[in-house]
Amino acid sequence: MRKRLEKLLKFTLRSQLSIIFSVLIALSIGSVSLLTLQNQVKILKDNFIATGQQFCESIAGNVSDALSQSPIDDTALISTITKVVNSRDNKKWIKYVRITDADESIIIASNNISGEWNKKYISPVFEIKEKTPYYFGMSNGKREKIYEVRSDVKKGEEIIGKVHLGVSQNAIDALMSVAARTVIIVAILTIVFGFFISSLVAMFLVRPIKLLIDGASKISAGNYDLKIKVRMMNEIDDLVSSFNDMAKNLKEKEQIKVAFSRYMSAELLDEVIKSGGKTTFGGEKRLVTILFSDIRDFTSMAEALDPQQVVRLLNEYFSCMNEVIFKNKGMINKYMGDAIMALYGAPVPLKDHAVKAVATALEMNKELNKLRIKWAGEGRPIFGMKIGITTGEVVLGNIGSMGHMEYTVIGDAVNVAARLQALNKNYGTQILISQQTNDLITDHFETRQVELVQFKGKTSYNLVFEVLGAKQGEK
C-alpha cells in the first residue's frame, strides 16, 4: 500500500521543475502585481482627492460674491453648487456640499442623494465620528466612508466663509476594484503564460536527463555503442561527455572480458579490466616468461582412438591444466592442437613471472599424474607431457586484421620456449628451462644443468636446465 501511494505521489523531474518554476513565477508576478495595485490605489485616491479639492476651490471662488452680500444670496449659492455637482459624473462621487461662514456656522448644505437645500443645517446627514479627514455617516440608511476636502472663501485677504465637499470613498473603491480586476486578470494571464514557458524550459532541461536515463537502460542491456548527442552549453554537456566516455570504457572492458575470459583467471581478468589494457593492447615491449607444453606422442595415440574419445580426453586434460595456469596468474595465449602456450607477466605485469611459470610446470605434472591414475583405472589411454620455459623480451599487443584481432606475443623467446619443449624428447626430461629463466628462479627451485645447446637458426649457444623440484621450504 505504501509503495503504491509513493508511486502515485511520485512526480517526474519535468513536473517538479514545472511546479517550481511556476511557483516562482506566480510569487514574482503576485508580488509585482500587489505593489502595482498598491501604487495604483494611491494614485487613484490622490487623483480623486485632488479633483475634489479643485472642485471645492472652484465653488469657493464662485460663491465669494454671494457670501459677501447682505443678506446672503441663497439662489446664487445654490446655482453655483448645483452646476458643479451636476456636471459630468460628479454626482457619483460628490456626497455633499456644505457652505459655512467664517465661524463654521452652516449657511447652506445639500447632498446629491436628496437634492434638497436647507438654509439651516439642523440634522446633519453625515454624523462625525472622529477628528480626522475621514467622516462616517448614514446615507439612505447605509453607512459609508467619506473623505472631506475644504477650501476657504475669501474676499480679498479676509476669510468670509468655508466650503466643505465630501468625496465618496465608495466611488474611489469602485475604481480601485476595476484597477484591481485588471491587475489580477493580467497577473493570471501572465502566470498561465509563465506556466507554459516553465513547462517548455523544464522539458528543455529534462530532455538530456531523459536521454541519459534511456542510455543507461540500453547500456545495462549490453548496448555499448550508444552515444548521446546534446548541446546545452553548460554542465549538462560535461555530464553527457562523461556518460559517453563511460559507455566507451564499458565497451572496451566488455571486449576485454569477452576476449580474455577463457584464457585467464577471474582475478587476473579483473586486473586487466581495471588497467584497461592500455599499456599492452596497443603494442609494447616487455620482459615476460613463456611456457610451452605438449603431450608426448599424442598424434600416434589419437590415431588409435575414436574422435569422441580424443575430444573427451583433451577437454579433460585442458580443463585441468587451465586451472593450474590460472591459479598461478598465467594467461593461456593459444591452443595449438594438443599444445598450450601460456604467458606470465602479460597482459598485466607480474613481478615474479618466471617463478610463477616454473611453479605452474611442476603443478601441471603433478595434476597430470592424478589424471593418469584416474584414466588407468577407467581403462583409458595415458600419456606424458613435455614443458619448455624461457624468459625474454617480446612485443605484446593485439595483432591481426580488422575482422579478427588476437592478443599475442612476438619475439625470439616464443621460438626458444617451443624448442625447449621439444628438446625434452632428446633428454628424456619433463621440464626444460633457459638460462635466463634459471637465473630468476634459483632461490626457489632445484635445477640441473643439462647441456650447452645451439638452437636452430642461432649462432650462439645457450645453457639448458632441467627443473627437478621446489627447494626445501618452497611450496
Delimit the domains of the chain by residue range. 14-176, 222-257, 265-470
Q: What is the pLDDT of residue 131?
A: 35
pLDDT at res. 474: 64
pLDDT of 118: 44
Nearest to 429 by CA among 376, 388, 458: 388
CA dihedral (34, 38, 40, 42) in degrees, to 10, reads 180
Each residue's pLDDT, cut to its tens digit, for the chain (475 residues) gives: 555 554 444 555 556 666 666 667 667 766 777 777 778 777 777 777 787 788 788 888 878 877 787 777 777 777 777 776 666 555 567 777 888 888 877 777 776 544 444 443 333 334 333 333 444 444 444 566 777 788 888 888 888 888 887 777 777 777 777 777 777 777 777 777 767 776 666 666 666 666 666 666 666 666 666 676 666 555 566 666 666 766 666 666 665 555 555 555 455 556 565 665 444 556 788 999 999 999 988 888 888 888 888 889 999 999 999 999 989 989 888 888 889 999 999 888 889 999 999 999 999 999 999 999 999 998 888 899 999 999 999 998 777 665 566 777 888 999 999 999 999 999 999 999 999 999 999 999 999 999 988 887 777 788 999 999 998 866 5
Task: Quote the pLDDT of residue 444.
Answer: 94
Q: What is the pLDDT of residue 53?
A: 81
Distance (Å, whole) CA 248 – CA 143:
81
Domain 265-470 has CATH 3.30.70.1230: yes
Q: What is the pLDDT of residue 293?
A: 96
- Give the angle 428-430-436 at the CA atoms, nearest 5°: 110
Is the four-CA dihedral 294, 296, 299, 302 of positive or negative sign?
Answer: negative
pTM value is 0.53
In CATH terms, 14-176 corresponds, of 3.30.420.40, 3.40.50.10800, 3.30.70.20, 3.30.450.220, to: 3.30.450.220
- Based on the number of CB atoms within 10 Å of its own CB, is 87 exposed (0-12), middle (13-18) or buried (19 or more)? exposed
Cell numbers at residue 198, please?
A: 516553465
Cross-sheet strand order for the sheet of 134-139: 117-118, 106-111, 94-101, 158-168, 142-155, 134-139
Secondary structure (H, E, C), the chain = CHHHHHHHHCCCHHHHHHHHHHHHHHHHHHHHHHHHHHHHHHHHHHHHHHHHHHHHHHHHHHCHHHHHCCCCCHHHHHHHHHHHHHCCCHHHHEEEEEEEECCCCEEEEEECCCCCEECCCCCCCCCCCCCCCEEEEEECCEEEEEEEEEEEEEECCEEEEEEEEEEEHHHHHHHHHHHHHHHHHHHHHHHHHHHHHHHHHHHHHHHHHHHHHHHHHHHHCCCCCCCCCCCCCCHHHHHHHHHHHHHHHHHHHHHHHHHHCCCCCHHHHHHHHHHCCCCCCCCEEEEEEEEEEEECCHHHHHHCCCHHHHHHHHHHHHHHHHHHHHHCCCEEEEEECCEEEEEECCCCCCCCHHHHHHHHHHHHHHHHHHHHHHHHHCCCCCCCEEEEEEEEEEEEEEEECCCCEEEEEECHHHHHHHHHHHHHHHHCCCEEEEHHHHHHHCCCEEEEEEEEECCCCCCCCEEEEEEEEECCCCC
Cα–Cα distances (Å) from 367 to 322, 337, 385, 431, 461, in that order, read 11, 20, 11, 14, 33
